[in-house]
Amino acid sequence: MSEIIIVNDVSKSYDQPVLQNIDLIIETGVIHGFIGPSGSGKTTLMRMIAGLESPSSGSIYIKDLRVPDLSLLPHIGYMAQSDALYMDLSGYENLKFFSQLFKMKKGSAENRINDVAALVNLTADLKKKVKNYSGGMKRRLSLAIALLHQPDILILDEPTVGIDPELRATIWSEMHQMKENGQTILMTTHVMDEAARCDYISLVKDGTIIASGTPQALLKKYHAQTFDEVFIRAGRGGQS
């Protein structure tokens, strides 16, 4: 595997520090999960990796290019925690708009729209205006848009919130297939039972990464049976 994302001593402050001294290397073709409670800094880190915000200090490189860099946009799919959708357009029209933004060819765009709509179980609702969608349907449409142009790097901020267990299993199956195809996936969650499905996880607390590694290695290191226990013990400095 080769390194695709390098985060070097990154900090971010607004009125007060949000992230502090983050160092991270992410390899090509893995699912890397960021686990932690709301307000821990996960979303800010994802936004900086996606190039939507700049660090207060430190640097982020993707494919050897320093972020932000406009040339990276076609290679990144981003699903925000808050849905950024056009409410007066239909689900199909939203997908069509983003396919044009991604400069997809017409024929392949139509095929991909059908594919991603089926994946997130929205095929029957594509003609409805998004303002009439439920919260869960909006999340599913946001995920479909992120997947649409088959990016090399997929950044998902709590993608399974509001999604039923059966569809969540389908989405995880698709993410594992994407990984097998060489795509790199970063995702945040505060649901600890999703940690075991990732190749690597980073535990985020109070703006810092308190532990990183494979799920198996972290369970062993902290003599834990669950990732709730890992998080608690890592937060105490490894004490049981």
Q: How many other CB atoms sit within 10 Å of the CB of residue 102?
A: 17
Structure tokens at 154: 């997929």
Per-residue pLDDT tens listing for the chain (240 residues): 688 999 999 999 998 999 999 999 999 999 999 998 888 999 999 999 999 999 999 999 999 999 999 999 899 999 998 888 999 999 999 999 999 999 999 889 999 999 999 999 999 999 999 999 998 899 999 999 999 999 999 999 988 877 888 888 888 988 999 999 999 999 998 777 888 899 999 999 999 999 999 999 999 999 999 888 998 999 887 554
Domain enclosing residue 146, as ranges: 3-235
CA dist 222 and 229 (Å) reads: 8
Residue 95 is classified by DSSP as H
d(CA 75, CA 170): 23
77 lies in some domain = yes
Residue 195 lies in a domain: yes
CATH code for the domain in which residue 218 is found:
3.40.50.300
In the chain, how many domains are there?
1
* 142 within domain boundaries: yes
Q: Is residue 193 part of a domain?
A: yes
* Domain presence at residue 211: yes
Quick count: other Cβ atoms within 10 Å of Cβ 109?
19
CA dihedral (22, 25, 28, 34) positive or negative = negative
Examine residue 240 and state whether it is found in any structural domain, yes or no.
Answer: no
Pair of tokens at residue 134: 């439920």
What tokens were used for 107? 């024929």
Residue whose token pair is 């995880």:
172
